[in-house]
Structure 1
Amino acid sequence: MQIKIKDIAIEQNDPFKYDCLERKSEIENISSITTNICAPLVMAIDSPWGTGKTTFIKMWRAYLESQQVTTIYFNAWESDYAEDPLVALVSELDIWVKSLNNTELSAGIWKQAKSLLPGIAKSTAVATAKIATFGALDIEKEYEKIASDLVGGTVDDLVDSFNIQSSAISRFKDIVEQTISELGEEQKNLIIFVDELDRCRPTYAIELLERIKHLFNIERLIFVLSTDVEQLSHSICAVYGNDFNARKYLQRFIDIDYSLKKPATKNYIVSLFHSLSINEYFKARKEGHYEQEHLIDCCDIFSTRFDLSLRGINLLLTRVRLVLSSIPSNNYLYEPLLISLLLLREHNIELYNRYCNEPKTADEVIAYFTKGLSSEVVCTFSFSLIAGYLIAPNLDHSNNSRFEELVAPYKKILADDDNKNSDLAYAADKVLLISGASNGMRRNVNLKTTIERVELLHRIQIE
């Protein structure tokens, strides 16, 4: 049973082969900017956590590579254990330089650039920690002692040390600029993708931004930062204080802020049904084709209702896969009710508990699910499935009073001539059909079993 979702495969020769989020046109349009604009430039690809930024960046990079555009990929989070991000970033540049197979370059000026790193890289971490623990009485002596430790002399030597470092930085930038010229005239800019910046520890993220600004503000060099700007702002405030204007601070580093468009989720849900082998489960069921379509459509509705990120959809369908594995293929599934209760328990536990104890509150649950949905969605067959299955457990052959109260609004819609042939009348008719209120149908929905399945699943922690 597959429960871990694999990364979307990105083929170098066909980057958009598995583009279920339809990013192709977006990537092609943004590529025309980055390949032709005058650098230096820092662009932020801004999107909340779990919305597919890394996949977007990797797909974009593969597209550029297919167009013979050289790029570098740097995952900031994977190196945030380092004391100074400069070393980690230069190591990625070093890999690119070696790939050029230019011995004169790699053994010449580029080797010199690497030799300059000790004079540039961060050397104040120990000093900062010591200064933070000063006693008030000996502060001047402590400053002089720490300065002496750092530069090998007295405080007066700090000026000389600063001048040496400035010269090293200037020479380093010159060498990087000369190295980029190896691209040739056919490629205007070298693009460096910096991924997962928002996941880094706050001080590391800030230091990386500072390094990019002061050391890599170089012609023909573009940085693309993949980040959640809001989360990055919180990280900055964690260092400088809650009253600090982090957004304005970030403007010092970011020239262009591009927000990823919100993708249509249904195609993504369908792709997960395949990658998690959910589709294989339904192949073994008598009505599996219809049940699968119902479940996909219900998941799509709920992803809109609860504004689920792609990561949130991953988690939901992983849970669905787990619960399906416990249901034999010859058992009733009640898939609209199952997915409804999964989401209700997650987002409104109080209403979930009330419905489980008293399914006569189905109208409250339906009203809760309706919030934020367009009338077009509410009038679909899929939403009628959700409403009908929520009402159905109230069908009692001995006492149908509460059931009749629940279906009365739908009967009223059908009785109104003004609604004739309308989408609303269509939806009302389907709710009555599915709940068992029309055509003599009596739908025996086992609410107790469905609740037990949901509760079992919520005792399993999925990360």
Structure 2
Amino acid sequence: MPLRRLPHLLAVLAVVAGVFVPFARPASARAVLAAPQFMEQTPLSIPLDRVGGTSVWRIGIVNPGPATSAEVRVAGAVGQTLTVRGAARLRLAAGGTAWVDLVPGPRPRAGTGQLLLISPAGIDRRQVSVTLPFLRRHLGWVVAGGVAAVAALVCGALYWGRRRARRRAREEILDDRPAPSTDEFTHTDEPTENDRLNRSEYASGLAHLAASATPPLVIGVFGEWGTGKTSMLRQIRKLIDGYEHCAHVWFDPWRHQYDANPVLPLLHTIVTGLGLERTEGLRQKLGVISEVLGSLVLTSALKISVADVRKSFEVYDEQNFRVRSEHARLDGHLRTLIARALEARQKSRLIVFIDDLDRCHADQIVALLETLKLHFNRDNCVFFLGVAKAPLDAAVKQRYQDQPVGDYLDKIVQFPFEMPRLSDEAFRSYVDELLKENLRQAGDLLKLGLRPNPRTVKRFINVLILQDKVAQDRGLEHYDVAILAAVLLIRDGDPEFYGRLAHDPTLLGRIVEDLDTAAEDQPLAWSPLALKLVQGFPGGRERIPGNVSPYIDLVRSSPVVQQSDTVAEESQAADASGVAALGLSAPRVDFAPLKERVQRYVSTAAGAEEDLLDPLVRFSRDGERVTVTPEELLAREGTGLYVFGEPGSGKSVLAVRLTRRLLARTDVVPVFLRMAAFQTEQPDLELRLTHAIRREYQMSLVEIYPLVQSRSLVYVLDELHELDSAAQAARLLEDVARYGALTGVRFVVTDRGGTSRESVSARLGLETMEVLGVAEEDGRRRLERLLADRHVPVERLGALPSALLTSPGFLSVLAARPGWIDDLPGTRVDFLPWYADRATAGLEVAAVERERVVRALRELAVHGEEEDSTGFSSEDAGVREIFRDCGIVGMQVPEALRAMVDAGVLYAAGPHAFQFAHPLLRDHLAR
């Protein structure tokens, strides 16, 4: 072949490789070696009035594939509104987690855009929008309406004749219309000089201190977001006007945070704040200082190596002399400028208010603090610093990692002042003052559910005003603003419970039922915030409807208040310093809380271990039937076990026993998950597992995800067939098998079985095992021993269906409650009908008629027969409705379920999970 044709041949081979090589990769690699992606895919929506100060939005990133690098960017119209703090370039470990912080950018404005996660493996996107506050968002409609009116008038002028009368009629109608209300949204977030929080004594004292204490003096006004620091500083500034010898200026450093040196913008602010910007001498002095600052920065930037110093000590001495002389020169110019400025205003003391320092980047915060110490430490200057402590501490730690933050700040701030906590009385008065008449009935709930933070209260009430107006416009039937307030408080204060409430809008009604039926001092396992709101509901909790779905629909799309605004999220607010920390961090991995919850979950499931028989299994369709112990199953090689069998064969009992054995080991932590808790909408298996654990064990994502990422968990997934469709079940099984093959994580999956899923498990390397129950002779011997222990002849038992004798679940129920043996009649009985009649006859619940409990049991059996399932959750809305229809409510429901368990009809498979002792018993009760 001629050499000139070689490039063409290589190009053809490259194209062929590009087409066919991807399909030659193993399927598991294609499925699991995915690009890094955002942990949460839901759009991020931020009100514009939150884009400022110390606001931080933490974004989680997961890497389900091998180690790689990635970059986070903000694209679209919000590119200048939000920015990534620190290095946007990440290094992601294989299967690792990273966190980046979004912070306000240089030019806040409303708009939409995307967060981009760019890596060699691909790009992931997450929608982000910055929305205007309600009034500004609708201002465009007002302007558009005005433009339309002007256009109409112009058109009217062109049709002078006949149109003139119509125009006049229209104007008269417009004149007769009532003026729109101007107090719809009066609770602006702007600071005020009026004292509405009973803090005038503090403002007066600080003003007197600034005017009379001996300078130099820096007064730090510290307080968290929204506590009223700026309003306090403005009130102090107003009082300073009463001291004739004091001049004052206001400096917003975050407006100048991109300047090379904070000295010059601060001096410009002093000169313009005193109204002296046109004074020729001061203008010239500013020009000289600008020149000196430029020279100082240039001189300090010169780089001299150690070799240069060794060659010429003169060069080293010369450069250091230049730096020292420039500092001395600058100091003299600054002294002259400030003295001349005060002299021009006939004042002797300058008081500078520096607000929102915490909104600056970390390096600018430290630079300004050092500027105060180096250049403004003078006998005629007093400074007020309004700042939040957490970002200030984080900035100092970043710059001086080895120096204690407290020691550093003590050198800068001579008088620290912590903003006083809003008293209970002041908080209640503040809420009442902000609420208009139509919202007053929600006031008590706000006092229960909000933190005593002025900005928090205003922001929440503004959202409530908006949602109340929308509810009025929709004409909701039996509308109650207190219910709306409660749902909003729950949404913003306890997102986990709100998720449950959105899925089951009857939960508030169930809390009411539980409170009405609970014994005195009986603890209730509900969200503390929801429980507090229901207990303190104005007018009595009987006003709460059984279903709040109209309010859920109303609230679903409303503006979201910062979660730390609510009482239930105070723990999050306490972690603000951690959120403010710079760089990437991963939460600490602690398995103990999850292991403890799993232990509680399976402690009562499946019965006592000594009463259980080892199951009879077959490891393939053609294999022999063998009896195995849980220890033998755990000792088998492989990354996964697919367990299937008929209802009542003991799959779930075996899954619980395997979980118990794994809990005794120290190298792994088992997680037992029912399919009812499994989230299938997440695109990544690790995220689906994370959300399933969160839902089943009531833990936070921050706690759970590191555990999932550690890949030290063993997952026991029970009843795969309970997913919504066979296709979902098959896809999940494929994901499990591929993920296990790639990572070595072990899975145990139980299923009712089906040829398609059995073939999937075999094809993907999961070991397949069919549970056949227990050997019939073993089951019969177990019953004979039970009867012999009670001195009852076995002949009285009569003939039992083999399905009952081979069911480990049913046998464990009989062994756990052997009182049925004493009730056997003297003659042989048809066991199943007799056992069902005896069980229903013994259903006794305090304060509930037995007929109601029996009816509920039969309705549950019918429900299970229709759903082709032997299990159910007591938290399921349909199950609760069955009990409610039978007149069993609140705390009577767990009592009724406990009676059914005691009667031997059900057994507890988890905290809220119940199984019929056997499908045959369920079917008999359903007749």
- TM-score (normalised: structure 2): 0.35
Residues 1:76 and 1:357: Cα distance change in structure 2 (over 3 Å): same
Residues 1:333 and 1:66: Cα distance change in structure 2 (over 3 Å): farther
Residues 1:239 and 1:44: Cα distance change in structure 2 (over 3 Å): same
Partner Cα separation in structure 2 for residue 449 and residue 179 of structure 1: 67
Q: Is structure 2 residue 388 aligned with structure 1 residue 225?
A: no
Q: Which amino acid aligns with 2:349?
A: N
1:450 CA drift (Å): 1.4
1:118 CA drift (Å): 2.2
**Corresponding residue of 1:60:** 236
Out of 308-317 and 193-202, give the one that drifted further. Answer: 308-317
Q: Is structure 2 residue 439 aligned with structure 1 residue 292?
A: yes
Residues 1:443 and 1:49: Cα distance change in structure 2 (over 3 Å): closer
Give 2:350's match in structure 1, choosing from 187, 190, 202. 190
Q: Secondary structure at the match of 1:193?
A: strand
1:224 CA drift (Å): 0.6
Residues 1:224 and 1:122: Cα distance change in structure 2 (over 3 Å): farther
**Corresponding residue of 2:849:** none
Contact 2:222 2:386 in 1 (8 A): yes
Partner Cα separation in structure 2 for residue 323 and residue 234 of structure 1: 37
Unmatched segments (≥5 aa) in structure 1: 132-137, 145-152, 274-278, 280-288, 362-389, 395-401, 414-426, 437-441
**Corresponding residue of 2:365:** 205
Partner Cα separation in structure 2 for residue 337 and residue 97 of structure 1: 53
Q: Is structure 2 residue 552 aligned with structure 1 residue 451?
A: yes
Partner Cα separation in structure 1 for residue 191 and residue 399 of structure 2: 38
Q: Secondary structure at the match of 1:82?
A: coil
**Corresponding residue of 1:81:** 258
Which structure 2 residues correspond to residues 115-134 of structure 1 after superposition, within 5 A? 115-120=288-293, 123-124=296-297
**Deviation digits for residues 88-110 of structure 1 (CA, Å, limit 9, x no counterpart):** 00101221454498xxxx43477
Q: Is structure 2 residue 414 aligned with structure 1 residue 255?
A: yes
Give 1:40's match in structure 2, choosing from 216, 222, 229. 216
Residues 1:47 and 1:122: Cα distance change in structure 2 (over 3 Å): farther
Partner Cα separation in structure 2 for residue 213 and residue 432 of structure 1: 55
**Deviation digits for residues 374-396 of structure 1 (CA, Å, limit 9, x no counterpart):** xxxxxxxxxxxxxxxx4xx35xx
Out of 45-54 and 171-180, give the one that drifted further. Answer: 171-180
1:360 CA drift (Å): 7.0
1:301 CA drift (Å): 2.2
Residues 1:295 and 1:188: Cα distance change in structure 2 (over 3 Å): farther
**Corresponding residue of 1:435:** 541
Which structure 2 residues correspond to residues 223-372 of structure 1 after superposition, within 5 A? 223-241=383-401, 244-263=403-422, 264-270=426-432, 272-273=434-435, 279=436, 289=437, 292-303=439-450, 307=451, 309-328=453-472, 331=476, 332-357=478-503
Out of 318-327 and 191-200, give the one that drifted further. Answer: 318-327
Residues 1:178 and 1:2: Cα distance change in structure 2 (over 3 Å): closer
Contact 1:191 1:224 in 2 (8 A): yes
Which structure 2 residues correspond to residues 144-183 of structure 1 after superposition, within 5 A? 155-176=316-337, 178-179=339-340, 182=343
1:232 CA drift (Å): 0.5
1:178 CA drift (Å): 2.7
Q: Is structure 2 residue 222 aligned with structure 1 residue 50?
A: no
1:407 CA drift (Å): 0.9
Q: Secondary structure at the match of 1:457?
A: coil
**Number of residue pairs the alignment of both structures matches:** 363
Q: Which amino acid aligns with 1:294?
A: Q
1:27 CA drift (Å): 0.9
- TM-score (normalised: structure 1): 0.66
Q: Which amino acid aligns with 2:343?
A: E
Q: Secondary structure at the match of 2:421?
A: coil
1:403 CA drift (Å): 5.9
Q: Is structure 2 residue 287 aligned with structure 1 residue 111?
A: no
Partner Cα separation in structure 2 for residue 430 and residue 89 of structure 1: 51
Residues 1:181 and 1:88: Cα distance change in structure 2 (over 3 Å): closer
Q: Secondary structure at the match of 2:235?
A: helix
**Deviation digits for residues 96-149 of structure 1 (CA, Å, limit 9, x no counterpart):** 454498xxxx43477335413322358548976x97xxxxxx9557999xxxxx
Q: Which amino acid aligns with 1:300?
A: K
1:54 CA drift (Å): 1.6
Q: Which amino acid aligns with 1:353?
A: G
Partner Cα separation in structure 2 for residue 225 and residue 52 of structure 1: 13
Q: Secondary structure at the match of 2:269?
A: helix
1:237 CA drift (Å): 1.9
Q: Which amino acid aligns with 1:319?
A: V
Is the radius of gyration larger for structure 1 or structure 2?
2
Q: Which amino acid aligns with 1:169?
A: L
1:172 CA drift (Å): 2.0
Which structure exhibits the higher relative contact order, with contacts defined as CA atoms closer than 8 Å and separated by 6 or more residues? 1
Residues 1:201 and 1:94: Cα distance change in structure 2 (over 3 Å): same
Contact 1:334 1:445 in 2 (8 A): no
**Deviation digits for residues 248-285 of structure 1 (CA, Å, limit 9, x no counterpart):** 21212111101111233344434544xxxxx3xxxxxx
1:432 CA drift (Å): 11
Out of 331-340 and 36-45, give the one that drifted further. Answer: 331-340
Q: Which amino acid aligns with 2:448?
A: I
Q: Is structure 2 residue 94 aligned with structure 1 residue 94?
A: no
Partner Cα separation in structure 2 for residue 326 and residue 178 of structure 1: 58
Q: Which amino acid aligns with 2:213?
A: I
Q: Which amino acid aligns with 2:228?
A: G
1:49 CA drift (Å): 1.9
1:156 CA drift (Å): 4.7
**Corresponding residue of 1:6:** 188
Q: Secondary structure at the match of 1:326?
A: helix
Partner Cα separation in structure 2 for residue 459 and residue 163 of structure 1: 53
Q: Secondary structure at the match of 1:328?
A: helix
**Deviation digits for residues 160-195 of structure 1 (CA, Å, limit 9, x no counterpart):** 31243133134224314533652888x663210011
Residues 1:404 and 1:297: Cα distance change in structure 2 (over 3 Å): closer
Contact 1:109 1:175 in 2 (8 A): no
